[in-house]
Amino acid sequence: MIKTTFFWEIIVRSPFRKAQVLFTTYYAYMVEYRAELFFWVLNSSLPIILLGVWTEASNQVELPLSAIEFARYFIAVFFIRQLTLVWVIWEFEKEVSQGKLSFALLQPIDPVWRHFASHVSERFARLPFSIALVLLFFALYPQAFWVPSLTQVLLCILTAAIAFGLRFLLQYTFAMAAFWVERASAIEQIWFLFYIFFSGYIAPLETFPPLMKEIALLTPFPYVVYFPSAILMGLPVRLTEGFIVMGVWSLIFYGLNRYFWRKGLKHYSGMGA
């Protein structure tokens, strides 16, 4: 009986209780900045601008997708982008350069979980604004309205969750450079140049030359934007291959992350590298 109680309290209940406290705390913190959240959502509205560009282009020349399909694709990209946005590298860089990481290391929980809880809580806080803008778009452009099937919705939720985890892991791995360099965020800015092109953020992969599309699908970029967006709007995708590629890249960056974390802690001086 004592062993069973110990297992329940320490192994099962304690982690869930900590997770609940973290998520509720950071959600309350994010809601305090709900006015800023609206502007953060607008700041990610580039797909809405590109929507107009590509729909007009499809009316002028023959493209792989129709004007309606381009409209649906970019509204899906806008929504997925709200779910997969990550900024952990800037937070971690600040913690290391200002020595704030020292206080987090004294607490009995890996600092990554605080960043993760902050990101997840922010998703729920910004969700009403994202949905409101999507509904406004459909009110202005009702021809593009569509209702995804239940299978599409469930697969989209699954792939969006994995895409967020992969994007978070990628950026958190780059953040480890803050132990050695002053501006780790510069790495993310270089990476972002490839991300914005190969992820399908500015153009669906159907518009790419066949060879370039195949190469892009071997990288992690398309799976954080294009993959869940295409599933949501019903474009044909290679599901099994997609999940395998996402899993392989997740394992690679998880290994790199843990390696550089251990090395970085040995190098960390409490006031930056």
- pLDDT tens profile 92-117: 999 998 888 888 888 888 889 989 98
| pLDDT band of 34, cuts 50, 70, 90 | low
In the chain, where does DSSP find H-type helix? 2-6, 14-31, 34-43, 46-60, 67-84, 88-97, 101-105, 111-140, 150-175, 185-198, 210-216, 226-233, 239-267
Which pairs count as long-range contacts for 17-24, CB under 8 Å and 24+ apart, including other chains? 18/109, 19/113, 19/117, 22/113, 22/114, 22/117, 23/117, 23/120, 23/121
In a domain, 183, yes or no: yes
Our measurement of the distance from residue 109's CA atom to the centroid of its chain's CA atoms, rounded to an integer in Å, reads 23
In a domain, 63, yes or no: yes
In a domain, 9, yes or no: no
Q: What is the total count of domains within the chain?
A: 1
Torsion of CA 67, 57, 210, 241, to 10 degrees: -40
| Residue 7 DSSP class | I
Question: What's the average model confidence in pLDDT over 202-223?
Answer: 91
In a domain, 7, yes or no: no
Give the type of residue at 79: F
Provide the 10 A C-beta neighbour count for residue 14: 11
Question: pLDDT tens across 134-181, in order?
Answer: 888 888 888 888 888 999 999 999 999 999 999 999 999 999 999 998
In a domain, 4, yes or no: no
Mean confidence (pLDDT) of the chain: 84
Residue 10: per-residue pLDDT: 46
In a domain, 105, yes or no: yes
In a domain, 254, yes or no: yes
Provide the 10 A C-beta neighbour count for residue 148: 16
Torsion of CA 212, 217, 219, 221, to 10 degrees: 100
Is the pLDDT score of 7 beyond 50?
Answer: no
Which residues lie below 8 Å from residue 26, measured CB to CB, with a gap of 6+?
Answer: 114, 117, 118, 120, 121, 122
Alpha-carbon distances of 157 from 84, 144, 235, rounded to whole Å: 11, 21, 16
Provide the 10 A C-beta neighbour count for residue 12: 10
Question: What's the average model confidence in pLDDT over 28-33?
Answer: 71
Two tokens, residue 209: 């030359």
Alpha-carbon distances of 187 from 84, 181, 205, rounded to whole Å: 19, 10, 25
Range of the domain at 34: 26-267
Provide the 10 A C-beta neighbour count for residue 28: 11
Is the pLDDT score of 221 beyond 70?
Answer: yes
In a domain, 15, yes or no: no
Question: pLDDT tens across 56-92, in order?
Answer: 887 787 788 888 888 889 999 999 998 898 989 999 9
Which pairs count as long-range contacts for 60-69, CB under 8 Å and 24+ apart, including other chains? 63/207, 64/204, 64/206, 64/207, 65/204, 65/206, 65/207, 68/143, 68/144, 69/233, 69/235
| pLDDT band of 11, cuts 50, 70, 90 | very low
Two tokens, residue 36: 């800023």
More confident residue, 103 or 6: 103
Collapsing DSSP to helix, strand or coil, 107 comes out as coil
Axis crossing angle, helix 226-233 with helix 67-84, rounded to the nearest 10: 130
Is the pLDDT score of 132 beyond 60?
Answer: yes
